[in-house]
Amino acid sequence: MICLAFEFTSRRRSVAVGRDGVTLAESVQETGRETPVFALVDRALRTAGIDRAEVGLLALDIGPGSYTGIRIAISTVQGWALGSGIPVVPVGSFEILRKRAAGLGRPLPWTFAVDAQRREFAVRTWNGDGWDGDVRLVPDTELVRWIRDGRTVLGPDLDAAFTGIAEFGPEVLAMIDATRMHPAATDLPQLATAASEAVPAEKLAPVYLREAAFVKAPPARPIPGDPT
């Protein structure tokens, strides 16, 4: 079966094509604010020598990660699936990062970190046999302490999250840079093919790093001299 996979959760956006779990081609966009979705799709299909009509499975990373990127991937996959009836398999970012880390030879346990904004990170730790609990949020100071203590911390765009924060100087930024590892669409065909079942495209939802919170605005304050 031909799988078309989308990974848009970090600054490195990628699309991959695989056959029976084996990746045939990947196209990548690493710069710029726009995500040329169908240019990436066409490039990956062309490189793999696959026609769009041959695609029989859609896969995507549903996060956590870039809110905008995940939304783009979901809307693309939903439109494709609803128009063609092709099954969809969502995969979480931490599963993709775990697969990538397996080829790096870094000492266990592996702690994966994704920027959650507000100087916090969503983290999860793999001990070699399973996950040590659920995803949780930790402050950036704790993440830096782990790295200084020699803990294996890996994740996408961590350098950008720390840049510009006065208390973290060049030494910390150099350590953070060494932790960089992006999820990639090239791992999705295998993970999606091995997954137990697909989900209805209309039920796809991103993995949020925190629950949405809304603050009610205070009552309007009259402005002297304003006739309204």
Domains parsed from the chain with CATH numbers:
2-92+184-203 (3.30.420.40), 105-177 (3.30.420)
pLDDT for the residue numbered 61: 97
Give the torsion sign (CA, 186, 189, 194, 196).
positive
pLDDT at 221: 54
Strand 55-61, strand 88-91: pairing: parallel
Q: pTM of the entire structure?
A: 0.88
> Cis peptide before 183, with omega less than 30 degrees from 0?
no
Q: At what angle do helices 140-148 and 170-177 cross, to 10 degrees?
A: 80
Tens digit of pLDDT per residue, the chain (228 long)?
999 999 999 999 999 999 999 999 999 998 767 899 999 999 999 999 999 999 999 999 999 999 999 999 999 999 999 999 999 999 999 999 999 999 888 899 999 999 998 899 999 999 999 999 999 999 999 999 998 898 999 999 888 888 777 677 777 778 887 788 999 999 999 999 998 689 999 999 998 766 545 445 555 555 555 444
3-state helix, strand, coil in the chain (%, to 5): 35, 25, 40
